[in-house]
Structures are given as C-alpha cells and as structure tokens.
Amino acid sequence: MAKRVLITGSAGLIGSESTKFFADHDFEIIGIDNNFRAYYFGKDAGTEWNRRLLEAKYPKQYTHYAVDIRDYPTLESIFKNNKFDLVIHTAAQPSHDWAAREPLTDFSVNAVGTSNMLELTRLYSPEAVFIFTSTNKVYGDLPNELPLIELPTRWEIKPGHRYERGIDETMSIDNSTHSLFGASKVAADVLTQEYGKYFGLKTGIFRGGCLTGPAHSGTMLHGFLNYLVKAIANGIPYTIFGYKGKQVRDNIHSYDLVNAFYNFYLNPRPGEVYNMGGSRHSNISMLEAIEKTEKILKKKGKIKYSEDNRTGDHIWYISDVTKFKTHYPDWNYKFSGDAILEQICKAVTKK
C-alpha cells in the first residue's frame, strides 16, 4: 500500500518541490493550497500555474484541495478520510512588510493555521511525521548585534567568532525585533516543538534561510533572488533597502531542503529544531547577486537604493547546518549558489 503525505502550500515553492520529490518516491499526495499568495502579493505572484503543472504531471498521485488552513472543519474532513504517514506544512504568510498591513491575518494563518494542522495530525494521524517550515526570522534582528566588518561587496562576521561558520540553533529567539511575521512564526515554531516534546508527535522544525529555486513565484515583498532575476530580466526597477546593498543571505535550493525533509522522515527526532540554509556552501550579498545576475543575463538592472532598511531585516545571516548534518550524515547539497542562480535565470527568461 502506497504511503500518503499531506502537503500544505502544495503549489508554492517548497510545497511543489515536496510534491515532486515524494511523488517520485511513490507516495500518494494530498495537496492543500488556496492560492492565498495572490491575495498577499497580487495575481503575478499567484501559484495557480504551478498547481496546474502538478495536476498534469501527477494525475494519479496528486489530489488538490483549495482549502484555507484556518478552516478547521474542512481540514478535519480531509484528515478523517485519510491516514497520513507524513505531513509537510509549508503554507504561510511569508512577508515582513505584508504582516504589518494585516497583523490578524498574518497571525491567524501562521500561528492558528499551524495549530490546526498539529492538532488534527495528533487526533487522526498520530504516527505521522510532521515537518514544519519555520524561518530564520525567529531570531529577530539579534544577528545584527554580531561583530560585523564591512568588505567591498558584503558584510562579514569577525574572523574567529563562534558563529563564523554560520548561526546555529543556540542563538536566542528572545529580546529582539522580529517583525510581526517573525513573531507569528515564533509562535508556530515553539508550538510545533511542544507537540513533539509534550505529546510525542514526530515533529521536525526547519528554520530556513533564503529558500529558493525556479518554481518560486517571486515578488517584491518575498522571494528576493527570484524577484531580483525577474526584475533585471524584464527591466523592472529594483530597490535595495539599506545596509549599502551588502547584506548577506544564504540560499538553499528547494530540492536540497526537501531532501532534508526526507532524511528526517526516515529517522525522525521528535521536537527537534534545525537551522537549514545554504550555509558557507551557498551565500551571497545583494551587490554580488546583482553583479552575477547581470553577467548571466547580459543585461544591466535598473537598481535603486533606499537608506531605510526593512524592520527586523538581517544584515548578515548564514546558517550553520552542522547539527542536521551530524544527525543525518547521508544528506548533502546538490546545488551550489551559482547553479541556483543560473537555474533561476534560465527559468525566468523562458516565461
């Protein structure tokens, strides 16, 4: 009998990658995605195109439900009619700036929606592995207090610092400015831990760096690398917000993240938290990303600069994935930073 996975946000970047990955591993997939991304960021950022691709490619394995994760009764009917081996919860409101526009929507989707998913898993599929896509924004702006030095194209941490290899899970999530988005994800993150530690549910929490790949519906408020490529390719003005454009992000390909999910699924550790990003393997500053993208596309971007940084934004963030690699030594990266950027450029110019 085929194993069954429930994936929320199934037409989004990580959800669709999870659908493809687990379909190729002979899972039956129940996908939940109501295209709320179009409500957040506009029609061009919607995910309907990706849903249609999944339904066409996996007509026998993939079943789609356009359900809001805040709708407990409808979710409950799905859980009652299916026994899941795995739940991958990726659905979220993902933007700092958007959260401030509608704080109640942000919290209800990110925190209450996650609570719904956890409780229904506990009630109806208690043996399932539950994977939650958290974020490095749970650390708020605490990384900005690290001793940083300014280099010609990037900020970098002072050599010899304990986080030189990257920020690990020991960093505090307290007493910092998170943005409302970061705060709602903290609530969901801690709740998912608690369902693992208190109830014994097989929960895993992945605090992502910049999650990216060609399936991303990038927009100005979310999906920096994909939107940057889209802007340069199409002559759209692109604004850098603060930090001289030298802010650093570590980028992880959606495939590499989902492969980490799979390794956790095979040997779950209830309530465990992992920082998961590109690490020292794949990281880039805004200025470096612009230069590389212009070189690949052979086109100059219309770049603007604003002195005002986004609230709670990181100057430098690189994940230390040592803990995960220690627990799951068979996992490794497939995509380098340059390969990710080239793949995104190719995908954007095809559209």
Q: How far is the C-alpha of 181 from the C-alpha of 168, rounded, in Å? A: 21
Number of domains in the chain: 1
Residues 222-247, buried b or exposed e (16+ Cβ, 10 A)? bbbbbbbbbbbbeeeebebbbbbbbb
Averaged over 227-251, what is the pLDDT? Answer: 94
pLDDT above 60 for 221: no
State how beta strands 248-253 and 283-285 pair.
antiparallel
Q: Which domain holds residue 172?
A: 4-350
| Gap between the Cα atoms of 121 and 115, Å rounded | 10
Report the alpha-carbon distance of residue 301 to residue 234 in Å, rounded. Answer: 9
Give pLDDT tens digits for 325-348: 999 999 999 999 999 999 999 988
DSSP 89-132: E------HHHHHH-HHHHHIIIIIHHHHHHHHHHHH-TTSEEEE
Q: What are 287-307's pLDDT values in tens digits?
A: 999 999 999 999 999 999 999
Predicted local distance difference test score (pLDDT) of residue 223: 62
Which of 258, 266, 271, 272 lies closest to 335, judged by CA?
A: 258
CA distance 7 to 53: 16
Closest CA to 225 of 150, 286, 138: 286
CB of 334 closer than 8 Å to CB of 259: yes
Q: For position 59, which CATH number holds? A: 3.40.50.720
Which of 128, 341, 89 has the alpha carbon at shortest distance from 206? 89
In the predicted structure, residue 217 carries a pLDDT above the cut 70: no
pLDDT tens, residue by residue, 94-112 = 888 899 999 999 999 999 9
Note the pLDDT of residue 218: 63
* pLDDT at residue 219 in the model: 60
| DSSP codes of every residue in 203-272 | EEEEEESEEE-TT---BTTB-HHHHHHHHHHHT--EEEESGGG--EEEEEEHHHHHHHHHHHHHS--TTE
